[in-house]
Amino acid sequence: MGTVSRRTFLLGGAAAAGGAVVLGVPRWASAAEPTIRYPFTLGVASGDPLPDSVVLWTRLAPAPLNGDGLGGMPASNFAVAWEVASDPAFGSVVASGTSTAVPANAHSVHVVAGGLQPGAWYYYRFKAQTHISPVGRTRTAPASTTQPSSMLFAFASCQHWEQGWYHAHRFLANDQPDLVLWLGDYIYEGTSSQATDVRGYTVTDEVDTLAQYRQRYAQHRTDPNLRAAHAAAPWAAVFDDHEVKNNWAGNDPTTTSPEPGAPPIPSTRKAAAFKAWWENMPTRIPQPTTSSIAAYRRLQWGTLASLHLLDTRQYRDDQAPDGSCPVMRSSTRTITGATQEQWLLDALATRSATWDLLGQQVFFAGRDTGGDAADCNDMSTDAWDGYTASRQRITQGWVNRQVRNPVVLTGDVHRHWAANLHLDYYTGGQIVGTELVTSSISSLGSDTAPDLSRMPHIRYIGNQRGYVRCRLTPSQLTSEWVGISSAFQQNPSLVTSSVVRRYAVLDGQPGLVSI
């Protein structure tokens, strides 16, 4: 950590020496604060861009791996100055202010930097006492009534710390996308214990307290490639299961169980997990104060794209027992909850953008990997296959509303996939949408090749770690599945990335087109 901290500090110093405005130490706070060592070890991040504002994030943590989760900070408030400029040397500062980092939020800082121009790139940094943070790059969304000619976005999921190096984040950062969608499994609560593990946790057990969740997020942010991906572009992040507990379901403590029949997750554990997630994500959603969190939300990219970010964990019915067709196909079941489902369908009805992107956690298309009869074996009860009525209401819902370009973006399965969406996955028929699925950044994938004989709608499966990169224009979505050569190899000079598959989706024509 020392090397990284020194280098980033010198970068800040170089910017100041180049004639930029130096952030002032707030006079009202400086005298009372205990002196701290360099606190920006976890980097900077931004997220949830609107046309006139973006959320800026950092956290003060001179000793990020401390077991108490408090990052080596004294238990008092600290002033954190921030500034946004239109140039990387901060010669032209367009917004600035001071925020207070408080112990109750582990000295994390969420600033809504407002008064910005739509569709513009910016640079931002923080200062605490004499310490200057690394510089982050971010941007605002286009104005709501304009049609941008192009948008470059990337989406990713599943970064098990122990199971691989984060080279994929380095390549993603180098792409300089307009927006990064994080679709879940930012951390894993459990340990890996695989022969191929490349590194270990400092908390070696499953995490279940606020201190442990905080410490685990901090450990992830000590990775320079992950910090680079955050510093390169604004993120829009949602959580999946492992930010809390493997395969957890539901918002009611009496029905929540990680596996059918298992004891419920205590509401105190969910509250701790949500709080730590919120503290560490550059999001504008309100801070959770209980064991629930208002995570589903929408972003707009002019009239080019509506981005619906879903929460398929918190309001879902419990998973069906394996192979239980009567439960999986029950008409009353939901993976979104009724309120979120209506929120989504109402927005789809407005057709306010050319493309409707559904950023969400688990496999949406039918995925019967048994190749045998259409029973409910060989299907994931944790994915939309375990909630077929819920999927039907949404898919039929966008058909009924004549949604022009519905595209589902998915993580979770540690492989690249691409699929055409139908109303019925066994009879096929009309293609009504498209699903693009990203592999993991680092989490292990399965070596077993699934039998796809019953699933002609699934057009691609890859088994490399990586992410998906999409170029969106009014006429076409071009999707590139990026694979890295190895997540086990530590040396970055020995790891390459390549486009392992490429498909297009054409405006007004649901489904994958080879290009």
Residue numbers of the site for Ca ion (CB under 5 A)? 185, 240-241, 412
158 binds Fe ion (CB under 5 A): yes
Residue 279 interacts, among Fe ion, Ca ion, none and using kind-specific CB cut-offs from 5 to 8 Å, with none
Nearest-approach distance from CB 249 to Ca ion, in angstroms:
12
User: What is the closest distance, in whole angstroms, from the C-beta atom of residue 414 to Ca ion in the complex?
Assistant: 9
- Is the Cβ of residue 279 or residue 412 nearer to Ca ion in the bound state? 412
Cα dihedral 314/317/321/322 (nearest 10): -60
Nearest-approach distance from CB 241 to Ca ion, in angstroms: 5
> How far is Cα 381 from Cα 376, in angstroms, rounded to an integer?
9
Q: How far is the CB of 443 from Fe ion (least distance, A)?
A: 5
* Beta-sheet strand order (sheet of 297-301): 297-301, 305-309, 355-359, 406-410, 433-437, 416-421, 458-462
Give whichever of 275 and 313 is closer to Ca ion, judged by the CB atom. Answer: 313
The answer to whether residue 162 forms part of the interface with Fe ion (CB under 5 A) is no
Task: Using the rule CB under 5 A, give the single segment among 113-121, 179-187, 262-270, 467-475 that binds Fe ion.
Answer: 179-187
Residue choice 48, 178, 185, 356 for contact with Fe ion (CB under 5 A): 185
Smaller CB distance to Fe ion: residue 142 or 445?
Answer: 445
Binding partner selected for residue 241 from Fe ion, Ca ion, none, CB under the kind-specific 5 to 8 Å limit? Ca ion
CB of 20 vs Fe ion, minimal distance in Å? 41
Confirm or reject binding of residue 168 to Fe ion (CB under 5 A). no
Residue 372: CB atoms within 10 A of its CB come to: 12
- Taking CB within 5 to 8 Å according to partner kind, which of Fe ion, Ca ion, none is near residue 353? none
Three-state SS for 221? helix
Task: Classify burial at 235, counting beta carbons within 10 Å of its beta carbon; exposed 0-12, middle 13-18, buried 19 or more.
Answer: buried
255 neighbors 245 (Cβ within 8 angstroms):
no
Comparison of 224 and 250: residue with beta carbon closer to Ca ion: 250
Give the residue among 268, 270, 217, 221 at the shortest CA–CA distance from 245: 270
Query: For residue 434, which of 491, 368, 358 has the smallest C-alpha distance?
Result: 358
Evaluate whether 407 touches 301 at the Cβ level (below 8 Å): no
Residue whose CB is less far from Fe ion, 20 or 226: 226
Q: Where are the alpha helices (DSSP H) in 80-209?
A: 167-175
Q: Which of 377, 454, 356, 369 is nearest to 413 (CA)?
A: 369
Residue 160 Cβ vs Fe ion, minimum distance, rounded to whole Å: 7
Smallest distance, Fe ion to C-beta of residue 367, A: 16
**Per-residue CA distances from 300 to 50, 338, 355, 378 (Å):** 7, 23, 10, 37
Residue nearer to Ca ion on the CB measure, 317 or 412: 412
Residue 319 Cβ vs Ca ion, minimum distance, rounded to whole Å: 13
507 to each of 304, 406, 474, 512, how far by Cα in Å?
A: 11, 10, 7, 11
For the segment 392-451, give every residue that binds Fe ion (CB under 5 A).
Answer: 443
Nearer to Ca ion, 187 or 353 (CB): 187
Q: Which two tokens stand for residue 417?
A: 């996939």
Cβ proximity to Ca ion: between 240 and 356 the closer is 240
For residue 317, the partner it binds in Ca ion, Fe ion, none, with Cβ less than 5 to 8 A by kind, is: none
Asked whether the beta carbons of 150 and 472 are under 8 A apart, the reply is: yes
Residues forming the site for Fe ion (CB under 5 A): 158, 185, 443
